[in-house]
Structure 1
Amino acid sequence: MNAVRLPLFCSTALAERIERVEAQLIAKGSEAARNRRADLAGFVIPVAGGVACFAEEGSPLNKVAGLGFGGVPSVTALDEIERAFTTCGAPVQVELAHLVDPAIGALLTERGYRLTSFENVLGLSLEGEQEQVTPSGVEVRPSGDDEFEPWLDVVADGFAHPDMQGMPSHEEFPREVIAQAVRDLAEAAGVMRYVALREGAIVGGASFRMTEGVAQLTGAATAPGHRRRGVQTALLTARLAAATAAGCDVAVITTQPGSKSQQNAQRQGFDLLYTRAVLVKQP
């Protein structure tokens, strides 16, 4: 009899670990942006187990991440964060896991935060050997420093032209803003980069970061003209195999609800762990 695979159960302890490493990632990228700009506009403020970050104007890193596993934030802490974002002329965007104390959501809505969208966090237990799936004509391999710019180009282009299946993102970013945020994360957060090639040309790129036993799949993109050819699956399975070999016990990916990315992840055995509510307060 074949063993039945049980879905990965997400305890609050696992969610706390995932949210903690997510907050670390956003903080490292924001600090890199601040160092690159050599000014005092950016900030990283710890709050209730998470961080409030501002990297630069219009950046996707401008958010409050990992909030709530360190308790309900105080009114004083929220006042400080809101003043900091207002000084930068930016809204406060909180990504709140549904496994934290519900009192946090109530507190934020009382302060004028509005529910804007959701995002899903999916996870896969990394046990045994992970099978790599590489379609005919596609090559996937780690990307060296000598091809950082081609890798960045294909990732930025892919993110700038998202697959429109499922719920659309509430955010849109110019290509140059995406490229700079990806560069900051790649250079400061210790991510490993992969490329996918067809006929010798780079047509896809991906990355992941390993910390505390968590393999964060920090993004993957395929050039629009090369989609629906198995490139995303090849990039995903290559990273899962590498993460398993390195000793990670869980892989996580964040997707838009109902998106092609979520569908691809679930086809590879990922389970929906929890949802983040995205709440925004305008300055």
Structure 2
Amino acid sequence: MSTGRSPLFCDTALAERIERAEAQLIAEAGRAAARRRTDAPGFVIDFAGGVASFAEAGSPLNKVAGLGFAGAPDDGALDQVERAFAACGAAVQVELAHLADASIGALLTERGYRLESFENVLGLVLDQPRERVRPPGVEIRRSGDDEFDRWLAVVADAVAHPDTQGLPWHEEFPRATYEAAERDLAAGGVERYVALRDGAFAGGAGLRVADGIAQFAGAATAPAHRRRGIQTALLSARLADAAEAGCDVAVVTTQPGSRSQQNVQRIGFDLLYTRAILVKSGEPPRRASGSARPRPPA
């Protein structure tokens, strides 16, 4: 911990802000998927203060997010959501913050949901301008639509070969599904950053700004360019832009005990709360050749 710095305290009000921003992102990305796939089933349902979304078979956007800060859902609302996922042949996956309504975990367990995994949400106060870290030979800049395919190829390649530390992501997805989700997240408001090392595309990252919350939507570095300070440079560039945009808090989601969690805590992020991943019915996602994690950490 930096000298004189107080850890960011997360009360239920802050957790609700963060979860609301997450639900908004999933909803916007889900709607983008529906526009992209007009001939296929999909839905975005407002659900007890959060959102239930199905984008396409096997998508990381198929989930319930933001639940638990507007009271517990009643049986009728749960029935509707479960029927909607069942009609698409999908399990129901709920990401439930531990600061949410405590009755919801028991309610879901009684309905047959099982605890499958955890993920951590970390935050950093943005109360002053942030310095941009520029390692030798590394350039960080915004990435436009004209190079989206190139950006996506580098990020997808990097995500398919992750650093291994801590708990693994509980699900993986075929590359084509991962790439489609990244396109939908971009349509949902995630801005892209590219890292160049000696002029070559070396990695990329995402950032979404909503209601004063800076959501770090993931980052990845190509294996050949790792241990060169690129992740730190991507973090610092997004923090600087978020501060300039007037955000007061930056947030990132990581796997517990991962290198990504270690990296963001090193620069001052604090652990705010944990999400439990609760799943009902269906087989766990299967790993496939060329598979990728859904949302690479920051």
Question: Does TM, scored on the shorter chain, surpass 0.5?
Answer: yes
Unaligned ranges ≥5, structure 1: none
| Pairwise CA distance, 1:14 | 0.5
- Alpha-carbon distance in structure 1 between the residues aligned to 2:85 and 2:25: 19
Give the residue type in structure 1 aligned to 2:52.
A
| Pairwise CA distance, 1:40 | 5.1
Q: After the TM superposition, which residues 168-187 of structure 1 pair with which residues of structure 2 at under 5 Å, given as runs?
A: 168-186=168-186
Number of residue equivalences: 281
Q: After the TM superposition, which residues 195-214 of structure 1 pair with which residues of structure 2 at under 5 Å, given as runs?
A: 195-214=194-213
- Alpha-carbon distance in structure 2 between the residues aligned to 1:144 and 1:100: 37
Tell me the secondary structure at the aligned position of residue 233 of structure 1. helix
The runs of 4+ residues in structure 1 deviating greater than 4 Å are none
The range that moved more, 141-150 or 256-265, is 141-150
Give the residue type in structure 1 aligned to 2:28.
K
Give the residue type in structure 1 aligned to 2:271.
L
> Which residue does 1:269 correspond to in 2?
268
> Which residue does 1:129 correspond to in 2?
129
- Alpha-carbon distance in structure 1 between the residues aligned to 2:205 and 2:253: 14
Q: Deviations over 1:225-272 (max 9, x none)?
A: 211211111001000000001100000000011111111111110000
> Which residue does 1:7 correspond to in 2?
7
User: Does structure 1 residue 86 correspond to structure 2 residue 86?
Assistant: yes
> Which residue does 2:277 correspond to in 1?
278
Please tell me whether the aligned partners of residues 135 and 230 of structure 1 are also in contact (alpha carbons under 8 angstroms): yes
Please tell me whether the aligned partners of residues 25 and 189 of structure 2 are also in contact (alpha carbons under 8 angstroms): no
Please tell me whether the aligned partners of residues 158 and 222 of structure 2 are also in contact (alpha carbons under 8 angstroms): yes
Please tell me whether the aligned partners of residues 43 and 53 of structure 1 are also in contact (alpha carbons under 8 angstroms): yes
| Pairwise CA distance, 1:3 | 5.7
CA RMSD of aligned residues (A): 1.1
TM-score of the aligned structures, taking structure 2 as reference length = 0.92
Please tell me whether the aligned partners of residues 8 and 125 of structure 2 are also in contact (alpha carbons under 8 angstroms): yes
Q: Deviations over 1:101-154 (max 9, x none)?
A: 111000000000000000000000001111111211111111122211111111
Q: After the TM superposition, which residues 185-264 of structure 1 pair with which residues of structure 2 at under 5 Å, given as runs?
A: 185-186=185-186, 188-264=187-263
- Alpha-carbon distance in structure 2 between the residues aligned to 1:46 and 1:70: 12
| Pairwise CA distance, 1:36 | 0.6
Unaligned ranges ≥5, structure 2: 283-298
- Alpha-carbon distance in structure 1 between the residues aligned to 2:219 and 2:64: 23
| Pairwise CA distance, 1:98 | 0.2
Question: Percent of counterpart pairs with the same letter?
Answer: 70
| Pairwise CA distance, 1:217 | 0.5
Please tell me whether the aligned partners of residues 93 and 277 of structure 2 are also in contact (alpha carbons under 8 angstroms): yes
